[in-house]
Amino acid sequence: MRFRSLIALVAIFTTLAFKPKFKEEVFKVDTNSSSIKWVAGKVAGQHEGLVKLESGSLTMDGNNLKNGNFVINMRTISVTDLKGNANANLLNHLKGDDFFSVEKNPSSSFQITRISNIGAERVNVTGNLSIKGITNSITFPATVKRQKNTVVAVAKGVKVDRTKYDIKYRSKSFFGDIGDKAINDEFELDINLVAKK
């Protein structure tokens, strides 16, 4: 009886030891199906808009995210809560040197450096976010779901401190006497990536 149990245990361990690993697969981000929404708050309210992706990829090991990156086309930044002259004025300001200096820095990027699993289809993502040629590490939770040849990665409310990227316009951290004209140091991103083989 003991001998049979020993044989069974050896068989189980042998099976586990030689269990084939998943081959890592690269999924290309579909820039037309993916989206990034931005929200920026201020004392008197907030503004929001969109910005398009230029390229990107997600590397999967089975159903697990292993790596990834994406590039944002800053020339495509738009404002969705204003119309007419107000929209044009804010958009020009965002593209100007007080904010993203789009003419000098037409793209921003994010490169994953670490993935930590926190539950079914839930991960903590750490990576390097580059804006205006300045790079800082940020961490945020995300949901990653794979359905055969498509991967959808979603992260909502990703906080970015703009002052770390030399965007100090109307920041209370640098201009303490601006009162209700202050703009929050942090803005938020809702990231929705759709990647396909």
In the chain the domains, ranked by start, together with CATH numbers, are 22-196 (2.40.128.110)
- Residue 87 has φ and ψ, to the nearest 5°, of -65, -50
pLDDT tens across 97-133, in order? 999 999 999 999 999 999 999 888 999 999 999 999 9
Residue 8: pLDDT above 60?
no
Q: Distance between CA atoms of 129 and 71, rounded to whole angstroms?
A: 10
What count of other Cβ atoms lies within 10 Å of the Cβ of residue 99? 22
How confident is the prediction for the chain on average, in pLDDT? 91
Q: Distance between CA atoms of 185 and 190, rounded to whole angstroms?
A: 17
pLDDT tens across 23-62, in order? 899 999 999 999 999 999 998 899 999 999 999 999 999 9
What count of other Cβ atoms lies within 10 Å of the Cβ of residue 73? 16
The token duo for 2 is: 């003991």
Closest CA to 55 of 77, 35, 30, 75: 30
Assign 195 a pLDDT band (cuts: 50, 70, 90). very high
The percentage of the chain sitting over the pLDDT mark of 90, rounded to a whole number, equals 80
Please check whether residue 154 is in contact with residue 173, taking contact to mean a CB–CB distance below 8 angstroms.
no
Mean pLDDT value across residues 13-30? 72
Which H helix or E strand runs over 132?
none
Which residues are CB-contacts of 40 (< 8 A; sequence separation ≥ 6)?
46, 47, 48, 183, 184, 187, 188
Assign 179 a pLDDT band (cuts: 50, 70, 90). confident
What count of other Cβ atoms lies within 10 Å of the Cβ of residue 48? 17
Report the sign of the C-alpha dihedral through residues 122, 52, 169, 48, in that order: negative
**Whole-prediction pTM:** 0.86
pLDDT of 197 reads 92
Q: Distance between CA atoms of 173 and 113, rounded to whole angstroms?
A: 29
pLDDT tens across 70-90, in order? 999 999 999 999 999 999 999
